[in-house]
Structure 1
């Protein structure tokens, strides 16, 4: 199996790995690219907030399966002592959603032989009938049900059962060719980048303590200095946020 050199780099920051693709003639200076994954983390966080506010099914659908370029990031947003850089999902990556990356197989043990997508759609529909995401008749907390299921059916599934599985096979997305036409990264480089993106950690995570990462994820003022790795005064949701 051939893997990209970036996967084994000794640096503590997952950034600025050079373009190694032979024959590349574009203007990119780095092969690192995982903006789509960060967009999906923002969609996931936003969906939790929408459920908690008692939104209707239509609004939930916008953040689950929509691709509207004007979708506002509902979470994370700037807070006192913790300003963030982006305000639109498209600023992280345009045209992304959660539904197309949700596990498409049957969820064994869940009633009705539903696929992963259908389970999340069912949960969102049920959540839309609650005021705050909690159903007192059943005790179901749909904020947590949707979130934890999505963590497995989207983020874990994509990272472990796709990018670090099939796409690392020797004949799939080879290191000798671009991941897609015009890309500045090889097949294996990008497969590794995508898996890292689904991890949802700051690019400089290896320079942080567990407490630092917690403070960043919770947007505590103590986390700003640790999150703001480039020192520009705001937290970049693409490279400096913990989800």
Structure 2
């Protein structure tokens, strides 16, 4: 077969050599020969990918090599319109921080454009099927067989019990509308005793029903707290400062805990703030007990005792602060910090099927709150906003007829990760990033049974540390994105109330969203890996650091603004400035920050 382009090139060279053109040569008209015309470059006519299958649950997975049908065989460049994908060395791949989830979508269509060396283009939509990968222990589910006996080596029931206690406090406080208090004869002293028990006396509540799950608990394996974990699971014992082991800060030293100024009569510590919130709540109930009407600073009725006249939603502040000062602190700073320096050779205790290192890592994961088959859910299902009916934040994975709260239920920040992924304008995948790095890190511990972390090879130590960092980073980004979400809600709420004409419900929304914003924003200081931390594990210590954390909270203040139009306008500007701090700290896309 003759290559026409090469043949034409040879003719042109020959013509130049024998002088068919140029000075002294014969004109083609005189010779009777037809002039040689170089062929016109044609645009590419097709694009192929070497495989049309995407493997799910794999960060940065390569789809396949791209080729083009063209009159030229080289010089092609490819681009892809779907921002989840990129092209590296001629291969179509998912970006490194993203994974495709079969439960989210079974098919993906991407528009790929090829450009040849002369700038001519061709675009084609490629339809890619998503491969549904079976749930496999240590690959896409958080499950690992014991090297010390038969069965699983995974255990973190204490963390689940504390999640349940925190949710119970939120539920109990949330019942306290003025109407509920008056109708049921609720007395402030009884409420205080109940809160003190849920917070700090596990023995007193251990056999109580987990009422936040509903009145019918037949669908759950554990119906009381003691059925999750038997003894000693007080929230008070694990909040930052009270459990001093493995903490990078001494939270009982005055001035260490930042972001809040008024602690009433309580110590300026993480637990002191919880107690202060409880004090404010009880004072509101005492007013109802005394027949005093609850109203805000503008005289608008307050329907719920957990909302103060200053606009503090104490339900949200208690729960969100607990998620940070206890769950995030214990997970990121304790178990996934110094806790990783423990033994990986023998059973942690008699009859245990796990080493100390395995258990420390599991406990860190347990505070994130994900179900063990988290990747088998869609984001809508994790967030309870759609999808399969039997995957709404929980799933009977082992088909035993009941939900195991310690393995088949979604708790805490793992739910927020999915909510923010759903709300992202520019795609994020905080759920996959956190879960896949948690699984990969734990797998390295299991695969290296018999060696402590210090005895891993240098490469393996670096890989392991990166898995830990990326898991915690996704966890914290879920918190940060949630703060941004509530900044946007608070700004929208201000537009409803800034004229001074608003309803009790509008005031309650403002208080709720402000409490969620402020409560979550206190969380960052408890993570040594955080861009806001004053710690060597913070890669942004010199560019963001603790000073920016304090600046952000100064912008938020200790209560929402309730004043005139000028004050509201200034406060909205402060909220946007705080949002910009979070954008810089976590490298959020502007489109996400503005729309979350």
Query: Fold-level match, TM-score > 0.5?
Result: yes
Specify the SS of the correspondent of 1:120.
helix
Aligned match for 1:124, one of 264, 271, 278: 278
Shift of 1:207: 1.2
CA distance in 1: counterparts of 2:362 and 2:403, whole angstroms: 20
Work out whether residues 67 and 94 of structure 1, in 8 Å CA contact, stay in contact via their aligned partners in 2. Answer: no
Q: Deviations over 1:121-144 (max 9, x none)?
A: 221222233354533411110110
| d(CA) in 1 for partners of 2:221, 2:335 | 28
| Structure 1 residue corresponding to 2:142, chosen from 8, 14, 21 | 14
Q: 2:373 & 2:361 partners in 1: Cα distance? A: 16
Check the 8 A contact 2:159/2:366 in 1, yes or no.
yes
Cα deviation, 1:70-106, whole Å, max 9, x if unaligned, reads: 23212223669x9333210011001212111101114
Of structures 1 and 2, the one scoring higher in RCO (CA 8 A, sep 6+) is 1
> Is 1:100 equivalent to 2:272 in the alignment?
no
Judged with a 3 Å threshold, the aligned counterparts in structure 2 of structure 1 residues 64 and 209 are, in CA distance, closer, same or farther, namely same
| Equivalent in the alignment of 1:179 | 348
In structure 2, the CA distance between the partners of 1:108 and 1:180, relative to structure 1 (3 Å rule), is farther
CA RMSD of aligned residues (A): 2.7
> Structure 2 residue aligned with 1:233, among 401, 404, 416?
401
- 1:4 corresponds in structure 2 to none
* TM-score (ref. length: structure 2): 0.35
Q: Deviations over 1:151-199 (max 9, x none)?
A: 1001100000000001113xxx211233345432111100111011101
- 1:175 & 1:56 partners in 2: Cα distance? 45
Give how far 1:234 is off. Answer: 2.6
In the aligned structure 2, how far is the partner of 1:181 from the partner of 1:228?
A: 31
* Rg (Cα) greater in structure: 2
Once the two structures are overlaid, the 10-residue window that deviates more, 69-78 or 45-54, is 69-78
TM-score by length of 1: 0.81
2:381 pairs with 1:212: yes
For the pair 1:152 / 2:274, whether they are aligned, the reply is no
CA distance, structure 2, for counterparts of residue 148 and residue 225 of structure 1:
19
- The number of residues matched between the two structures is 223
**1:110 — aligned with what?**
260
Identify the match of residue 337 of structure 2 among 165, 168, 182. Answer: 165
Q: Specify which structure has the higher proportion of strand.
A: 2
Q: Given that residues 107 and 115 in structure 1 are in contact (C-alpha distance below 8 angstroms), is that contact kept between their aligned partners in structure 2?
A: yes
1:208 and 1:226 in contact (8 A); partners too: no
Which residue does 1:85 correspond to in 2? Answer: 221
SS of 1:239's equivalent in the other structure is coil
Structure 2: tracts of 5 or more residues without a match: 1-136, 177-189, 242-250, 286-303, 412-596
| Aligned partner of 1:41 among 139, 160, 163 | 163
Contact kept in structure 1, 2:377 and 2:391, CA below 8 Å: no
Runs of 4+ more than 4 Å apart: none
